């Protein structure tokens, strides 16, 4: 499909950015005039979506893509080679469904090309279109959101940025294997939703846990195929220009580090950043932070280790732990390239093709220690329940 029909060039010009040969403005291949960029395997592909009609908050997010670009282009380039393409913006369609279709087709096209979409919203309901973009890839996927809320809403409600998760979890056909959220604040989440997450064996990392040990977010991000970041997850003092920020949340440094964790994930094939509102950003510092978060994602991507233990395992150390109390044999793999850990979770015979991508679960050394103490790690147990 010719996705160029969906796009218009960004209004940001090179002259607007700070001069300097080593800045990203000279690295990124941009959609200019009638020259739509070619996309090939390994490209990081930036595109904006000027859509906000399903926001329950004030308008402004549709103007975010170019506000972020102005700051992103001014950041310095990377020492290592990394190919970045900017397709410009998908404008809001005549109808909301037209925008969703354009995003869905674009994401599917780019992933099939072996490129990685970096979407700048717009509002977070666009995550639904990104998810649908995986529908023809014949695989189940893992979704990770970074959000202070769990945006489920009520079944049957018209799609908005406050209930889009229902439209993913209840989507038919369903190709969601696992959903995880990082950063929810317990007093902002209905206890019924937390019980639902447990019942469906979904994962959550509370804000307090992330603040105590940010490394706990790394294996969650490492399992993702697609990541959706609600920038309102950052505390108001660090990023006030969002749709529904609050006094508590992640620090600026934390969201940057988490973006790098996501970039390092060899499995991840798309990421989106949503709910930044430039109309609330009087000094432009919010756009600077969002640009730096994207820069950190790219920095992680260029340092990918290629050490997923699905294929050749010669660069891995295997550890086997037998649980006397639970009657399971737990197998762990530690990468000699990155010191990262995985658990091998058994699955039923005959379902190898369906679950091949999911039985190796990212974990931490702490999960291995848990197993050596004759306890089953929570990550292992939830995955085992989904597989069986």
Q: What is the CATH number of the domain that holds 166?
A: 3.40.800.10
Residue 341 lies in a domain: yes
What pLDDT was estimated at residue 81? 80
Instruction: Find, among 255, 313, 235, 269, the residue nearest to 141 by Cα.
Output: 269
Residue 308 lies in a domain: no
The DSSP-derived string for 224-240 is: -SEEEEEGGGB-TTT--
What pLDDT was estimated at residue 327? 78
User: Span 65-94, mean pLDDT?
Assistant: 94
What pLDDT was estimated at residue 49? 98
Domain identity same for 73 and 185 = yes
User: Span 348-354, mean pLDDT?
Assistant: 62
Domain identity same for 321 and 286 = no
What pLDDT was estimated at residue 16? 58
What pLDDT was estimated at residue 15? 67
| Domain closes at, from 270, 302, 334 | 302
Q: Sheet with 360-363: list strands edge to edge.
A: 316-323, 328-335, 341-344, 360-363
Domain identity same for 261 and 334 = no
Which pTM does this prediction carry? 0.95
233 Cα distance to chain centroid = 13
Could you give the number of structural domains in the chain?
2
pLDDT at position 19 over 70:
no
Measured CA to CA in angstroms, residue 164 lies from 155, 241, 243, 292 at distances of 10, 21, 15, 26
pLDDT at position 355 over 80:
no
Contact 74, 17 (CB under 8 A): yes
Domain identity same for 171 and 235 = yes
Instruction: Find, among 48, 65, 102, 118, the residue nearest to 268 by Cα.
Output: 118
Q: Which residue has the higher pLDDT, 371 or 352?
A: 371
pLDDT at position 34 over 80:
yes
Instruction: Find, among 106, 116, 175, the residue nearest to 142 by Cα.
Output: 175
pLDDT tens for 298-321 read 999 999 999 888 777 888 999 999
Which region among 48-62, 88-102, 103-117, 288-302 has the lowest average model confidence (pLDDT)?
48-62
Residue 121 lies in a domain: yes
Domain identity same for 70 and 153 = yes
pLDDT at position 17 over 60:
no
Residue 95 lies in a domain: yes
| Domain closes at, from 235, 267, 302 | 302
What pLDDT was estimated at residue 324? 82
Domain identity same for 207 and 336 = no
Strand 141-146 to 226-230 pairing: parallel
Contact 27, 85 (CB under 8 A): no
134 Cα distance to chain centroid = 14
Residue 311 lies in a domain: no
Rounded-to-integer distance, Cα 290 and Cα 313, Å: 37
DSSP letter for 31, please. Answer: -
Q: What tokens appear for 351 in the block?
A: 């379902």
Beta strands in the chain (DSSP E): 7-8, 29-30, 44-50, 84-91, 116-120, 141-146, 176-184, 203-206, 226-230, 270-274, 316-323, 328-335, 341-344, 360-363
Domain identity same for 156 and 197 = yes
Q: What tokens appear for 211 in the block?
A: 């603040």
| Domain closes at, from 250, 271, 302 | 302
Residue 309 lies in a domain: no
What pLDDT was estimated at residue 57? 83
Which region among 203-212, 251-260, 350-359 has the lowest average model confidence (pLDDT)?
350-359
Domain identity same for 379 and 263 = no
pLDDT at position 255 over 60:
yes
- What proportion of the chain, given as a percentage, has pLDDT over 90? 83
Domain identity same for 106 and 184 = yes
What's the mean per-residue pLDDT of the chain? Answer: 93
Domain identity same for 325 and 256 = no
Domain identity same for 290 and 323 = no
pLDDT tens for 167-216 read 999 999 999 999 999 999 999 999 999 999 999 999 999 999 999 999 99
Residues in the chain: 388
Residue 35 lies in a domain: yes
Which region among 247-256, 269-278, 293-302, 314-323 has the lowest average model confidence (pLDDT)?
314-323
Contact 92, 53 (CB under 8 A): yes
Q: Which residue has the higher pLDDT, 359 or 347?
A: 359
Which region among 11-20, 149-158, 220-229, 303-312 has the lowest average model confidence (pLDDT)?
11-20
pLDDT classification of 226: cutoffs 50, 70, 90: very high
The sign of the dihedral angle between the CA atoms of 239, 45, 28, 76 is positive
What pLDDT was estimated at residue 130? 98
User: Span 234-258, mean pLDDT?
Assistant: 97
State the residue range of the domain holding 335: 316-387
Residue 310 lies in a domain: no
Number of Cβ within 10 Å of residue 195's Cβ equals: 10
User: Span 267-293, mean pLDDT?
Assistant: 98
pLDDT classification of 354: cutoffs 50, 70, 90: low
Domain identity same for 240 and 332 = no
């Amino acid at each position: 499909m010719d996705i160029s029909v969906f796009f218009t060039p960004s209004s940001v010009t090179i002259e607007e950015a700070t001069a300097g040969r080593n800045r990203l403005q000279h690295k990124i291949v941009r959609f200019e005039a009638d020259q739509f960029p070619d996309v090939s395997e390994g490209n990081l592909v930036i595109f904006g979506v000027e859509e906000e009609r399903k926001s329950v908050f004030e308008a402004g997010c549709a103007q975010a893509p170019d506000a972020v670009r102005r700051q992103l282009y001014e950041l310095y380039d990377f020492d290592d080679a990394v190919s970045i393409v900017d397709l410009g913006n998908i404008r809001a369609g005549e109808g909301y469904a037209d925008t969703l279709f354009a995003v869905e087709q674009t994401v599917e096209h780019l992933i099939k090309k072996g490129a990685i979409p970096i979407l700048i919203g717009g509002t977070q309901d666009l995550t639904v279109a990104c998810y649908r973009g995986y529908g023809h890839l014949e695989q189940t996927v893992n979704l990770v959101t970074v959000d202070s809320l769990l945006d489920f809403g009520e079944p049957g409600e018209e799609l908005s940025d406050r209930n889009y998760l229902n439209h993913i979890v209840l989507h038919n056909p369903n190709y969601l294997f696992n959903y995880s959220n990082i950063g929810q604040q317990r007093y902002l989440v209905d206890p019924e939703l937390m019980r639902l997450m447990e019942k469906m064996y979904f994962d959550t990392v509370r804000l307090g846990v992330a603040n105590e040990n940010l490394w706990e977010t790394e294996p969650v991000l490492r399992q993702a195929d697609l990541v959706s970041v609600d920038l309102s997850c950052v505390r108001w003092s660090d990023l006030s220009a969002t749709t529904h920020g609050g006094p508590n949340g992640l620090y600026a440094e934390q969201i940057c580090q988490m973006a790098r964790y996501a970039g390092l994930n060899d499995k991840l094939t798309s990421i989106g950043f949503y709910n930044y509102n430039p109309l609330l950003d009087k000094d432009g510092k919010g756009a600077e932070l969002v640009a730096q978060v994207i820069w950190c994602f790219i920095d992680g991507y260029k340092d990918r280790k290629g050490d997923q233990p699905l294929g050749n395992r010669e660069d891995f150390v295997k550890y086997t732990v037998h649980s006397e109390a639970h009657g399971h044999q737990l197998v762990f793999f530690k990468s000699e390239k990155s010191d990262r850990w995985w658990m091998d979770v058994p699955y039923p015979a005959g379902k190898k093709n369906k679950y091949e991508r999911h039985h190796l679960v990212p974990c931490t050394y702490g999960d291995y220690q848990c197993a050596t103490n004759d306890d089953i790690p929570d990550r292992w147990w939830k995955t085992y329940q989904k597989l069986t």
